[in-house]
Chain A
C-alpha cells in the first residue's frame, strides 16, 4: 500500500505505524465536568465503517509526521492524507471548540 504523504508524496505503508480512528485527535479536557463520561466515549466508542474511514498513521521510518489518512476500508482506495497537526489545529479553531 502507498500512503500519499502530503509533504513527501507516495510512501510505502511499511514505513508507517497504524494507530486507528482519527477521532483520537479530539481528546476531551480532563479537568472538565463529566470528564469520565467524555473519556469513556473518546476511548472506547468508535465507528468501524465498511467504507470511508479517517485514521491515524505515523511515518515512523520517515519524517515522523502523524497523518490523518482517509481510506476506503473495502477497497483500500486512499482519498487523501493530511498532516494530523494541521487537522488538530483546525479543530481547535472551530467556533465549537472555542466556545
Chain B
C-alpha cells in the first residue's frame, strides 16, 4: 500500500525506506517514524480493540499516554504485548500484531459485547459473578481471563539482557522540551553535573510538534544548536529514550533507558534496557503537559484523536489519519493546530468550538457555540453530527477529528511522595503543589506555564535557582524569542446531549454514563470511583482520562473539581517490564551462589548438590549401583560409624572474637558460661534472643586468652554476626572486643569416625601430638600439616563419633580434600554429604534448624540447666519468666516406631493413645526424622509435653496430610552412645 496519507516535510528521513508488517500486511515507512505514524501515513486508522466492548480503536495520542493503539511487537520469544504503537520506533523488518481481537481486527467476534453494553456497565464483574460461588474458579475466572488481558505473552524466556545501574548528578532535568533544554543550557554552562533525560528519541518535546519559530528561525535550528552545545560539554549527559519513572526519597530517581528497543534486536552483549537509579542533588521537572479530550457520543472511533496529536502527526511525522479533518476544541490552542494542518495541505472542514465567542484563528470555517454530538462510521470515522449554535443539526463528512479539552500539566512525579496537586482556574487543571519532593522544582508546561516563551524562561530560571541553592553560580541562559500566547479556554468536559456513551477512559471503556452510575450507586470518592469503574487503571493510568471522570463526578456531587480531588499518582510513570526490574538477577543469577572449597572436587565425584541459603552443598555422593538416595546416605552413615568420613563444613559461620574482654563478651552473648574456658579448649554454646527463645548454637574455641573463634549455624551466620556487633557497639561499648568474620578464610572439614585420628595422624607434621591424651575431646589448637601448612584443629563432634574439624587456608581446601581421600583409602575414608550429616546428628540427638526454629527455649531443647543464673546474658532474664517454665512445657525427646516397618513423618503431631486426633488433645510435634541405619528403623526428634518424664510410653504419631497414624515409643533423643564414650575414645 502506498503512503497515501503522507504529507510534506516532517522529521523523517525520506532517503531511506523501512518495510514493516502489521497483522501480516506489508507497509513502508521512514526512519523517524513511530509505528503509529507510519500506519497513519499508510492510511491505517484501526489499530486495536478496546478492553471490554472490543470496539474498534485507533491512536488517541502521539506519545506515551496512549490508551488505545496497543500492539504485540516483534515475534517469537521477543513478542511483547501492550506496546504503544505511538512510541514504538519503526525499524526495518518490524512486525506487529493487533491484540484483543478474534479472529481479526476488522471482524472481532467479541465485538458482540458492545451490543450488550447495558449489561456490561460499571461494576459488572462485581454484580454478575457473585454467585454461585462454586462457579467462580471453574467457569467465571477462566472466562474472564480469556476475554480480558489485552495482549498475550509468548510463553518463552526473554532472550535479552537487562541491566541496572547508578548515576549521580547535581541537577537531573526531566524532559527535554523548551523548558528542559533551556535549563540544561543554563546548568551545563555553569559547570554543574547535569543529566537531561527525555522519553522520546528526538529531544525538543512540544517544539517538534509545532511550527512556532524561535528567533525567527525554525525551532529545529535552535534545538540542533542547543544539543550540539550540550553534547560538547563533558559535564552534561544527554539521555534520550529514557523515562524518569519515579521520584523517591532524598533525591533518588528511577529512570528506564530503552537502549535497544528501537533495534530489531540488541547488538552483541548490549542490554535491551537499563533501569537507572539516579542520585541527584536537585531535580527539575520539565515533563510538559498532556492534552485531554471532551466526552461526546461515540467519540472513540478511529480517526478521532487529540488535537495536539493530530498536529504532531502532521508536523513531526508528515502523516494524517485523513485528508478531511475537523477540530473540536474549547481553547485557542486547538485553533492553532488547524492553522498547521491547513499549511500542510490537509482540508480542515471546520473548527467547532463550544465557546460562543471563539476567536477566528485558522483560515477555515469556524462554528462557534457548536458541539459534536455524535459520530458515524464502521471501523473508523466517516461523519460527525454537529449541533450548531442556533440549535440546528449538521452532518459533516470527515475522516478525523482533533479534540482538545485543554492541557493537564504532567504533575505525576511531584505527587510520588504524597503531595496533592492544586487547582489552577486559569488553565482549568491541576498544577504541582508547593510540598513537592524536597529538591524537585518544576518549570514549563508541567508547572502550568503553557507558552513556549514561558517554558524557555521558567526552565532557565529554575535551573539557575537550583544551582544557586547548591552554592553554584549560574545565570539563566538567554532564551530565543518565542510565542507567548495564553491558552484561553472555557472548561468543557462533555457534551450533555446523547445517551452517555461518551468515552472518558478509552483503555478501560469507561463512559460518562458509567461515572454517573457509580455516583448513583454510592461510589463517589475518587478512589472508589476508580476501583468501581476501573477509570484510570491499566497501562496508561488514565493520563488522558482521569480529569474527565473527575469533572463528571464533581458535577454529579455538586462539588468543585479540586474538592473531588485527583487520585494518587504512584510510580512508575509509564509501565516498566518485569525484566528491567530484575536486571541481571534472573534464572541462575537470581542471587549469588556460594561454593565451598571442595565444590569442584565434589562435582567430579558426581555429588548431588542442595541449595542451603546461597550455598551449594554436597547432599550425597552416589556410587555406581546406588539407584536411590537412601542407598547412598545409608552407606555414608555406616561408613562414618565404622571407619571415617569427611564432610565439608566450611559453610558454618566463623567469627573471630578478639580483645582483652573477649571472654566477658562471650559470657554475655551465650547463656552458658565462657569466662573460665581454658586456652586450647572448645565449648558448646547456646545463644538466646533477648525474649528468652533459642537463637543459634555452635562452639567457641579459645585459641588464646584474648582470642576465640565462634561458630554459628550455616543459616544464621549473617544474623549472628549482626547480633554480636549490636551487642558490641550498642550494649557494651566499654568492652575491649573486636569481631570479624572468617567464614570464607578457612576451608573446614569434619573428619568423623573411629578411624579419624588415624587418618589425621597421616597429615599432621612431625611433633604434632593428637593422641587422646594430648588432644582430648573438646581440645583445639593451631598446628601445621602436610609440611608446614598452618591449620586449625578442633576435636568436636556433631555425629557422636570420635571426630575432628580441621581447617586450612581456603586456597588449600581442594588439595586437602584430595589428600585425605588418597591417604585414607585403607581406613575406609568416605565423603559424606548434608543428608548423612543430618542422619548422624538425629541419631545423636543434636538440635539443628528444625528444632531451633525461633519458637523454642533452652528448656524445650533439654538444655535448661545450661542457662546460667550467676551472670547476666542476653535472654537469660526472660527465659525464666513464668510462661516459659510451665510444668507441662515441651521437651525434646526421641521417637522410634513400635513397628520398625512404619516410617515416621516430619510435621506429625503427637496424641495420647485413646484420644481423638484434634487440636485440643495435641501433645506435641515431630521436628526431624531420618531412617537410621544404626537402629534399623525410622527415628524422629520431637517436642512433647512433659516429654522427659514419659520415656518408655507409647504415643500416637498422626500426620493427616501424609495419611499416617502410627504408634511410637518415647525414647531418649540420644539414639546412639548416650554416655558419650565414642566421643572421648
Stretch at the interface among B233-241, B243-251, B833-841, B942-950: B243-251
Q: Which chain B residues numbered 484 to 526 have a C-beta less than 8 Å away from chain A?
A: none
Query: Which residues from chain B contact A58 at a C-beta distance below 8 Å?
Result: 722, 725-726
What per-residue 1/0 map shows which CB atoms of B27-60 lie under 8 Å from chain A? 0000000000000000000000000000000000
The answer on a CB contact under 8 Å between B730 and A84 is yes
Query: Which residues from chain A contact B734 at a C-beta distance below 8 Å?
Result: 89, 92
A27 within 8 A of B: yes
A46 within 8 A of B: no
Query: Which residues from chain B contact A25 at a C-beta distance below 8 Å?
Result: 730-731
The answer on a CB contact under 8 Å between A39 and B730 is no
Shortest beta-carbon distance from B658 to chain A in Å = 15
Query: Which residues from chain A contact B158 at a C-beta distance below 8 Å?
Result: none
- Chain B residue with Cβ nearest A66: B729
The answer on a CB contact under 8 Å between A39 and B878 is yes
What per-residue 1/0 map shows which CB atoms of A1-27 lie under 8 Å from chain B? 110000000101000010100001101
CA distance A43 to B871 in the complex (A): 19
Query: Which residues from chain A contact B718 at a C-beta distance below 8 Å?
Result: 60
- Chain B residue with Cβ nearest A38: B877
Pick from A1, A10, A17: contact of B722, CB under 8 Å: A17
The answer on a CB contact under 8 Å between A2 and B878 is no
Once A1-B249, A2-B249, A58-B726 are accepted as A-B contacts, the answer to whether A30 and B733 lie under 8 Å apart by CB is no
A52 within 8 A of B: no
Q: Which chain B residues numbered 716 to 736 have a C-beta less than 8 Å away from chain A?
A: 718, 722, 725-726, 729-731, 733-734
Once A17-B722, A58-B722 are accepted as A-B contacts, the answer to whether A43 and B690 lie under 8 Å apart by CB is yes
Pick from A1, A24, A29: contact of B248, CB under 8 Å: A1
Shortest beta-carbon distance from A13 to chain B in Å = 8
Measured as residues with beta carbon below 8 angstroms from the partner, the interface class of chain B is: 20 to 34
The answer on a CB contact under 8 Å between B251 and A39 is no
The answer on a CB contact under 8 Å between B730 and A56 is yes
Shortest beta-carbon distance from B690 to chain A in Å = 6
Q: Is the interface of A mostly helix, strand, loop or mixed?
A: mixed
Query: Which residues from chain A contact B279 at a C-beta distance below 8 Å?
Result: 2, 10, 12
Once A2-B279, A43-B878, A66-B726 are accepted as A-B contacts, the answer to whether A85 and B733 lie under 8 Å apart by CB is yes
Once A30-B876, A43-B690 are accepted as A-B contacts, the answer to whether A76 and B729 lie under 8 Å apart by CB is no
CA distance A99 to B730 in the complex (A): 20
Once A1-B252, A43-B691, A76-B250 are accepted as A-B contacts, the answer to whether A31 and B730 lie under 8 Å apart by CB is no
A88 within 8 A of B: yes
The answer on a CB contact under 8 Å between B690 and A39 is yes
Shortest beta-carbon distance from A45 to chain B in Å = 13
Of the candidates B277, B722, B873, B877, the one having the most CB atoms from chain A within 10 angstroms of its own CB is: B877
Q: Which chain B residues numbered 512 to 560 have a C-beta less than 8 Å away from chain A?
A: none
Query: Which residues from chain A contact B483 at a C-beta distance below 8 Å?
Result: none
The answer on a CB contact under 8 Å between B877 and A2 is no
Pick from A17, A28, A66, A78: contact of B730, CB under 8 Å: A66
The answer on a CB contact under 8 Å between B872 and A31 is yes
Query: Which residues from chain B contact A42 at a C-beta distance below 8 Å?
Result: 690
CA distance A12 to B166 in the complex (A): 11
Query: Which residues from chain A contact B249 at a C-beta distance below 8 Å?
Result: 1-2, 76
Query: Which residues from chain A contact B730 at a C-beta distance below 8 Å?
Result: 24-25, 56, 66, 84-85, 87-88
Q: Which chain A residues numbered 42 to 65 have a C-beta less than 8 Å away from chain B?
A: 42-43, 56, 58, 60, 64-65
- Chain B residue with Cβ nearest A19: B726
Shortest beta-carbon distance from B703 to chain A in Å = 22
The answer on a CB contact under 8 Å between A66 and B248 is no
A35 within 8 A of B: yes
B202 within 8 A of A: no
Query: Which residues from chain A contact B206 at a C-beta distance below 8 Å?
Result: none
The answer on a CB contact under 8 Å between A35 and B877 is yes
CA distance A85 to B466 in the complex (A): 37
B595 within 8 A of A: no
Query: Which residues from chain A contact B726 at a C-beta distance below 8 Å?
Result: 19, 56, 58, 66
- Chain A residue with Cβ nearest B726: A66
Shortest beta-carbon distance from A33 to chain B in Å = 12
Once A27-B731, A88-B729 are accepted as A-B contacts, the answer to whether A2 and B252 lie under 8 Å apart by CB is yes
Shortest beta-carbon distance from B738 to chain A in Å = 11
CA distance A43 to B875 in the complex (A): 11
CA distance A77 to B722 in the complex (A): 26
Query: Which residues from chain B contact A39 at a C-beta distance below 8 Å?
Result: 690, 877-878
The answer on a CB contact under 8 Å between B877 and A36 is yes
- Chain A residue with Cβ nearest B740: A64
Shortest beta-carbon distance from A43 to chain B in Å = 6
Query: Which residues from chain B contact A89 at a C-beta distance below 8 Å?
Result: 733-734
B360 within 8 A of A: no
CA distance A89 to B733 in the complex (A): 6
The answer on a CB contact under 8 Å between B251 and A84 is no
Q: Which chain B residues numbered 849 to 896 have a C-beta less than 8 Å away from chain A?
A: 871-873, 876-878, 880-881
Query: Which residues from chain B contact A2 at a C-beta distance below 8 Å?
Result: 249-252, 279
Query: Which residues from chain A contact B731 at a C-beta distance below 8 Å?
Result: 25, 27, 88
Query: Which residues from chain A contact B690 at a C-beta distance below 8 Å?
Result: 27, 39, 42-43
Once A1-B250, A2-B249, A39-B690 are accepted as A-B contacts, the answer to whether A88 and B733 lie under 8 Å apart by CB is yes
- Chain B residue with Cβ nearest A42: B690
CA distance A35 to B722 in the complex (A): 25
CA distance A83 to B728 in the complex (A): 13
- Chain A residue with Cβ nearest B880: A36
What per-residue 1/0 map shows which CB atoms of B159-190 lie under 8 Å from chain A? 00000000000000000000000000000000
Query: Which residues from chain B contact A75 at a C-beta distance below 8 Å?
Result: 417-418
CA distance A9 to B881 in the complex (A): 44
What per-residue 1/0 map shows which CB atoms of A69-90 lie under 8 Å from chain B? 0000001111000011101110
CA distance A30 to B668 in the complex (A): 10
Query: Which residues from chain A contact B417 at a C-beta distance below 8 Å?
Result: 75-76
Of the candidates B250, B279, B417, B418, the one having the most CB atoms from chain A within 10 angstroms of its own CB is: B250
CA distance A56 to B881 in the complex (A): 27
CA distance A17 to B279 in the complex (A): 20
- Chain A residue with Cβ nearest B882: A36
Of the candidates B418, B718, B722, the one having the most CB atoms from chain A within 10 angstroms of its own CB is: B722
Shortest beta-carbon distance from A77 to chain B in Å = 8
- Chain A residue with Cβ nearest B250: A2
- Chain B residue with Cβ nearest A78: B250
Shortest beta-carbon distance from B571 to chain A in Å = 14
The answer on a CB contact under 8 Å between B729 and A36 is no
The answer on a CB contact under 8 Å between B881 and A36 is yes
Q: Which chain B residues numbered 391 to 447 have a C-beta less than 8 Å away from chain A?
A: 417-418, 438
Shortest beta-carbon distance from A53 to chain B in Å = 15
CA distance A17 to B733 in the complex (A): 20
Once A58-B722, A78-B250 are accepted as A-B contacts, the answer to whether A85 and B729 lie under 8 Å apart by CB is yes
CA distance A85 to B456 in the complex (A): 52
Shortest beta-carbon distance from A7 to chain B in Å = 13
Pick from A19, A29, A40, A92: contact of B872, CB under 8 Å: A29
Shortest beta-carbon distance from A47 to chain B in Å = 18
Shortest beta-carbon distance from B665 to chain A in Å = 14
Shortest beta-carbon distance from B670 to chain A in Å = 14
CA distance A42 to B730 in the complex (A): 14
Q: Which chain B residues numbered 873 to 929 have a C-beta less than 8 Å away from chain A?
A: 873, 876-878, 880-881
CA distance A30 to B880 in the complex (A): 11
Known: A2-B252, A39-B690, A64-B725. 8 other contacts (CB 8 A): A1-B249, A28-B877, A30-B873, A31-B872, A43-B878, A60-B718, A66-B729, A77-B438
30 contacts between A and B (CB under 8 A): A1-B248, A2-B251, A2-B252, A2-B279, A10-B279, A12-B277, A19-B726, A25-B730, A27-B731, A28-B877, A29-B872, A30-B872, A31-B871, A31-B872, A36-B877, A36-B878, A36-B880, A39-B878, A40-B878, A56-B726, A58-B722, A58-B725, A58-B726, A60-B722, A64-B725, A76-B249, A76-B417, A85-B729, A85-B733, A88-B733
State the 3 A-B residue pairs at the shortest beta-carbon distance, nearest first: A30-B872, A2-B250, A1-B249
Binding site for B on A (CB under 8 A): 1-2, 10, 12, 17, 19, 24-25, 27-31, 35-36, 39-40, 42-43, 56, 58, 60, 64-66, 75-78, 83-85, 87-89, 92
